[in-house]
Each structure stands twice: as structure tokens, then as C-alpha cells.
Amino acid sequence: MNASKTLEKTLVASPERKLEADSDLAVVRQVQAGDVAAFDRLILKYRERVLGIVYNMTSNREDAADLAQDAFIKAFQSIHRFQGQASFFTWLYRIAVNSTLSHLRKNRLRSFFSLESIREDDPVSKELIDALTDKTGAGRDTFVRELQEKLNDAMQKLSINHRTVVTLFEIDGLSHQEIAEVMECSVGTVRSRLHYAKQLLQSELQPYLLK
Amino acid sequence: MKRDTEQKITVEDLIRLKRAERPPAEFWATFESEIRAKQLSAIVSKRPWWDGFSRVFGVVNRHQLSFGSAAAVAMAIVGLRYMEAHRAGARAPQAAEARPVTVSPIAPLPAHELPQIVRTAAPRAQVEVASDETVSAQRPVVTAAASHITQAPVAAAPDGAARAPFADGIAITLADFREPVSDYSRPAVFGSDRDFETSIASARQQVSEPLATMDPAAERRARLLAPALPGYGSASARALASDWMRRRASSDERMYESMDRGSNDDRMLVGFRF
């Protein structure tokens, strides 16, 4: 499953999300019954999304890998407590987000970037980069690298909660309701944080916005 | 940068560019091997001793609000009951001793004149409500219980027009206010609640022996209520009240407490005189 398909799946409407939740619940019941290998299917299904969330919150790929693994291990260790009241992916996201928030608060003063490269095989990103630059070769690569750093820099200027909301909504495609469930806050709070975060990002990324 | 293009790029578009920041394919092989190692160590490793506690606290935490609110309500009820019982024991210590039941004859009131409030007597002790001449002019609503003597004078004016319009209501309210605690609702939380009350009451009985013979509750309540409610009692009751007021002014016969400060400010003398 490649990332674009994953994102498409993340952005689908609720009925499909419901079906997905039901299939997840069946796998979770297997794991709870003692089929440890069944958990691998859940890892394979959600590893890219979980890693994406953690990476976009930390802007550090090494930390992101560790935190994503820890999130899966925590979920595995506490899967017997999963009652099925929320969907498994919401529950897993909550574990990942809480672990990341805890890590970020612990290392508030020690943060540095370790960025993945932007893959231009994705048509959406390629189209966007084409619109932003007419350069080719090394010049284009330099511009993309500069834009990426500026983008991550702007994200890191947001507070942890605002960054989390932007990541979950704009990058991972969760709805306001789902973000509220993951972050354990109200939908109004989610909307407010999203609005404020976008205002700040807009002022930071003004040179890249084309009218 | 293509500034001349007509295409509008928003901040959302730029943020979504981060979706394309993905690790290479070989990263997942490392990721999988590491997570498998961690998973195995999680299976093999012994759970810490506090893990059981965390599970218990997790369950408690899930019901935190209900436990807390139930505890608060229980504490409030227990506290109120205990305070009420303690106050009642302090008011009428002589009632704690189990005397033979003697019910004074109480003339029934006509139904249209006053709603009667009759409290069931507590089985452990019952009190005789004395009907002396002080209260004979007033018909009582009787509430007799273990540690309470509630005898609120009821408007029994010879002429119905002289009665204050809300006198009945006040009398009923007073009777309700002194409502005794029924036995079935008395909490057993503190175990031998009754023994405690009885022992306290008997101890106080010895100290305040003269008071026990006075039957102060009915007499004083009648005196207090008669002047407080104009036109409430009969002429004899009003005369009695004015006489009581004079006696009160002279501070001769009534029990009162006087506080007298000594020459030093750091001590205070409290004296009881009868």
C-alpha cells in the first residue's frame, strides 16, 4: 500500500471508515484471543500513517521512527484493554500522539530537524512544485530543499497542540471530530486551534503564496 | 519562482506538500525488524510489579467521577445525620433515659382548624410532654421522640379572627424544623450510635439535674412564641409572656449565661446561674 493510497483512504467518508473500523476490530479480537501474529497486519496497515503523524509533529525522522515503534508496542501491550468503543485507528493515533506530545514536552529545548526528502513521484506534490518554480536540475532541488526547511521551520514555530491539529487535519486528513477524539478535546477547540495555526503559517509562508 | 502564474497557491497546499516527505522503501525493512525485536522483548519481559496497580487505577480512573460524587454525597449525608443526632442529644438530655411511656391527654383539634402533625414515637425512649398551666392555654402539636420534645403551640385563640394568618404555618414549620430523626433513617455507619448518645445523655443528666425537673422546652417555647406572634396566644398567655419579660429583665429566675471579662484580656469567665 503506497502513501497516496493510504492518504486517499484516510480522506474517505465515514461509511468506509466504519467498515475499516469493523475489520480492524475483528483483527483486534484475534490478537486479544492470543493470535499475536495478527497484530502484524495492523502494523503493516497503519505504520505509514503513524510514522507520518509522528514525523510531521517532530520534524525528525530518527525520533519519528522510535516513537512510531513505541506507539505500536504500547498498543500491543495494552490491546487487552481495548474495548472497541472507539475505532482502533483512533485509539492507535491517540497512543502515538500522546507519546509524541510527551516526547516533545520532555525535549522542548532540544529540537533539530532531520528531514526526509520530498518525493516528487507523487503527482500532487510534483504539480505544486512545478507551479512554484520553473527551475530544473540542481536549482530546483535547492529550491525544494529551501521550501521544505521553511515549511518545517514554520511548523515548529507553532505550539505543540496547534502543530498536532494541523498535522492531523491537513496532512493526515482526519475530520474535526476524529481529531477531537484523538486529542481528547472539543471540536470547537480543534477548529479554533486550526484557525489560529493557519493564520500563523500564512504569515510565515507568505513569500511562497501566489496570488 | 513563477510569480506570473494565475494559479493560486494557498497555505493548505504548502502544508500538504509535507505528505510527500516519506522515507525510502528500505527504511521499512529496518523499521519492521526493530519493531519485531521490541515486540518480542515486550512479550518476554516480565511486567513490572506496579502494572497491576496501573490496571486497577485505570478502572478506577474510568469511574472517577461517579466514585467521587458518591463519596461526597455519602459523606454529606453521614455528616448531617451525625450532626443532627448530636444536636438533639445536647438539647434534651433527659429524654435519653427510658422512662415509662405516659402520653398526656391532648385534645384533638378540629380538622378545619389546623392540620395535625403527629410524629411516631421512637421505640427506644418516649417522653411525657408535660402540660402545665403555662402551656395549657395553647393547644400543642405534639412531636414526641427519643431525644426531642417538640411542642409547638398552635393557634388556639378563642376567637378565630384574632389569629395571625400565617400563625399555623409558622407553627408547622417549627414543628418540622424540630423533626426527630426516624430510626430507620438513622445511619449505622458509626456503629454503636445509640450507645454513644445514651452515654452522653446520661452523663449530662447528672450534671444538669435541676434542669431536668423544669421541663424547660415546653415552658420556654410557649413564653418565646407568645410575644413573638402578636395575637397568637390567649390573654392568659400574653399576660404570662409579659410577666416572663419582666422576669427576664430582672434576670432573676431564668437560666442564662453571662460572660464576664476579667481584668486581663487573655481570660474569659463564663458563669451559669439559675
ipTM, two decimals, is: 0.79
Q: Residue B3 domain-assigned?
A: no
pLDDT confidence of residue A195: 94
Residue B252 forms part of a structural domain: yes
Residue A51 has pLDDT above 80, yes or no: yes
Question: What is the per-residue pLDDT across A147-200, written as a single tens digit (0 to 9) for each?
Answer: 888 888 898 889 989 999 999 998 888 889 889 988 989 999 999 999 999 999
| Residue at B132 is within a domain | yes
Residue A55's domain comprises 1-116
Which among B19, B21, B42 has the least Cβ separation from residue A76?
Answer: B42
Q: Is residue B71 part of a domain?
A: no
Extract long-range pairs of A192-199: CB within 8 Å, 24+ residues apart.
A193/A161, A193/A162, A193/A165, A194/A165, A194/A166, A194/A169, A196/A162, A197/A158, A197/A162, A197/A163, A197/A165, A197/A166, A198/A166, A198/B11, A198/B12
The helix/strand/coil state of A120 is coil
Domain membership flag for residue A190: no
A-chain CB neighbours of B19 within 8 Å are 3, 7, 52, 122, 124-125, 171
Confirm whether A64 is domain-assigned: yes
Cα(B199)–Cα(B179) distance, rounded to whole angstroms? 22
Q: How far apart are CA B118 and CA B109, in angstroms?
A: 12
Measured between alpha carbons, how far is A38 from A152 in angstroms, rounded to an integer?
36
Could you tell me if residue A172 is inside a domain? Answer: no
Instruction: Report yes or no on B55 lying in a domain.
Output: no
Q: For each successive 10 residues of chain B (274 residues), what is the average pLDDT?
A: 58 85 87 89 73 63 67 88 81 54 52 48 44 44 43 46 58 64 50 52 54 64 65 59 64 51 56 63
8 Å CB contact of B17 and A134: no
Tens digit of each residue's pLDDT (9 = 90 or more) over A97-113: 999 999 988 887 666 77
Is A45 within 8 Å of A1 (Cβ atoms)?
Answer: yes
Question: Does residue B28 lie within any of the structural domains?
Answer: no
Q: Which three cell numbers stand for residue B60?
A: 478506577
| Count of domains for chain B | 1
The predicted-structure confidence for A79-138, as pLDDT tens digits, reads as follows: 888 888 888 988 999 999 999 999 988 887 666 777 777 777 777 777 777 777 766 666
B18/A133 Cβ within 8 A: no
B262 vs A25, more confident: A25
Helices (H), B127-166: 133-136
Tell me the chain A residues in contact with residue B17 when contact means C-beta distances shorter than 8 Å.
118, 125, 128-129, 147-148, 151
Do the domain assignments include residue A195?
A: no
Check residue A59 and give its pLDDT: 87
Q: Is residue A143 part of a domain?
A: no
Which residues of A are less than 8 Å from B18 in CB distance?
A: 56, 151-152, 155, 171
- In angstroms, the CA A143 to CA B117 distance is 92
- Amino acid in the structure at residue B169: G
Q: Look at B42 and A124 and tell me if their CB atoms are within 8 Å.
A: no
* Structural domain containing residue B136: 93-103+111-273
What CATH number corresponds to the domain at position A53? 1.10.1740.10
What are the residues facing B142 on neighbouring strands? B151
